[in-house]
Structure 1
């Protein structure tokens, strides 16, 4: 079974050197946030080209590493019109060039509301952004991966499902991170939360993230590497492999010294789930 990693967790490096490092750690694929991961290149709006994308994608492919996901994490609900326009246009640029990187998915969380008293305005901006992005993704054969996260306008399985309902295009998918759906209040009820996520979103999952949570002294939670916390991963792998066998799973919140153990934890857990489902 495969596992990938957020490329910038290995450092911000020239792309060939970064591809070498990913291959040395035996990751099969990466989620690549260009500005976070690649040094020495200006990735601001208007700089991407088929040639640059092919050069970077080719460097990873030559080392046996796929770019599973392009990360383009920028607020799609920014109340400042110039910022909003820049973020949407940059995401559209990623969608246009994703195929040249060899990446089927461009992923984002939608943004943290700047003003909780103006949630209706934030929601209207999200719909405006998604209307443009869905059209662009459909035109270029790319997939938008929407990710729910605590504190964001889309923060639960229900709010993510509602967004997909409003934009039911097949080019809209879900990046599922179970830890992003949990906090200190819901960690003990995680089975119910994760079950609901699969019920509402399971058929739309295009990628998953793997990290873990531990409870801290004040009752909140803290992120750690997959396998070192309290997430019920055996249950999660069973559901994921049943719904999306051999899907992309990418490590998050992992230090260099933890990468080998975390990758082994994911591979072995997914394989155990697969064998259980097949009766092997």
Structure 2
């Protein structure tokens, strides 16, 4: 039940230094976004990876007790410039091809956003075609794609992600669930409903999760804070996660280095308590049936 972390929360570093820093902080798995976390090479263009480099990085992380549970990428999947879109797809495909050498079962991404956050049907068509193309590549290499809904993105709600999954029905596409990404000023007052709906629609497709927190300020704005320091109903989140996907990887997505240990403990303790309550409920139900 160990909680992992976004590697780039430690900064952009040479991979040997990064591996040591993450291991020393007590994390055993990470979400690794190469062009955000690793400074040894410029990974912003496709074609930099090789089996030798990837195996060297993976071995260095293993030396420090760290595995790569998720390869992350922050790319725009419905860009109207065909040159930019093609490059983004090639970068994602390169991660798919090398994911298994990293030891990662998945490559994860949000879908992208326009600055004005106004979308049209062409955006949805381009996104659907892009995801279909990426899914075909993932199927060739035996790797999952993890899609994440995020407020303000083209796919910003659990309903919108569920619709996309139905439009591209590949068994190699799963969900990276982050309830914090679904909460905003308009719905944080009914967050339990939002969280339950996300699990109702997407629970069986979850392949990884994120952990951050959301807080409603006195000015009425919703801001992102570290796990345990906000208003999100973590007991509900962890209990539903235990119900749908016990032992699924959780990646801590927001925390300063000085507070990481406490936030990690908070998530792990909340998850452990949810598991205990689940076992107790199952035991009670079994006793009543006999």
TM-score range, shorter chain: over 0.9
How far has the Cα of 1:113 moved from its partner?
3.2
Residues 232-271 of structure 1 aligned to structure 2 (within 5 Å): 232-271=233-272
Partner in structure 1 of residue 82 of structure 2: 81
Structure 1 residue 32: deviation in Å?
0.4
Partner-residue secondary structure (3-state), 1:26: coil
Q: Establish whether residue 38 from structure 1 lines up as the match of residue 60 from structure 2.
A: no
Aligned equivalents of 1:179, 1:116: Cα separation in 2: 18
Does residue 33 of structure 2 align to residue 16 of structure 1? no
Give, in angstroms, the shift of residue 115 of structure 1: 6.6
Question: SS of the counterpart of 1:46?
Answer: coil
**For residues 191-232 of structure 1, what are the alpha-carbon distances to aligned partners after superposition, in whole Å with 9 as ceiling and x for unaligned?**
101101000000000111101011123312011000000000
1:214 & 1:48 partners in 2: Cα distance? 39
Structure whose alpha-carbon radius of gyration is higher: 2
Q: Measure the CA separation in 2 of the matches of 1:167 and 1:58.
A: 35
- Show the 5 A alignment for 1:219-238: 219-238=220-239
Q: C-alpha deviations, 1:12-48, integer Å up to 9, x for none?
A: 1111111111111111200000011011212121111
In 1, Cα distance between the equivalents of 2:119 and 2:212? 32
Deviation at 1:95, TM superposition (A): 0.5
Aligned residue runs from structure 1 range 43-82, under 5 A: 43=43, 44-82=45-83
Give the equivalent residue in structure 1 for 2:26: 26
Q: State how far apart, in whole Å, the 2-side matches of 1:117 and 1:94 are.
A: 29
Give the SS at the match of 2:75.
coil
Unaligned runs of 5+ in 1: none
Paired residues of 1:113 and 1:119 also in contact (CA < 8 A): no
**Separation of aligned partners in 2, 1:3 and 1:92:** 27
Counting only pairs closer than 5 Å after superposition, residues 108-127 of structure 1 correspond to structure 2 as: 108-113=109-114, 119-127=120-128
1:257 partner SS: coil
Secondary structure of the corresponding residue to residue 51 of structure 1? helix
**Per-residue Cα deviation, 1:127-171 (whole angstroms, up to 9, x for no partner):** 111111000000001110000001100000000000111112111
Match of residue 196 from structure 1: 197
Of residues 234-243 and 112-121 in structure 1, the stretch that sits farther from structure 2 once superposed is 112-121
- Structure-2 residue corresponding to 1:215: 216
Equivalent residue, structure 2, for 1:5: 5
1:148 is aligned to: 149
Q: Does structure 2 retain, via aligned residues, the 8 Å contact 1:112–1:151? A: yes
| Runs of 4+, deviation exceeding 3 Å | 113-118
TM-score normalised by the chain length of structure 2? 0.94
Q: Aligned with 1:47: secondary structure?
A: coil
The runs of 5 or more residues in structure 2 that have no matched partner are 284-290
Q: Distance in 2 between matches of 1:170 and 1:118?
A: 27
Q: Distance in 1 between matches of 2:183 and 2:119?
A: 24
- Cα distance in 1 for partners of 2:8, 2:105 equals 19
Q: Is the 8 A contact 1:113 1:122 kept in 2?
A: no
2:286 corresponds to? none
CA distance in 1 between counterparts of 2:73 and 2:118 reads 27
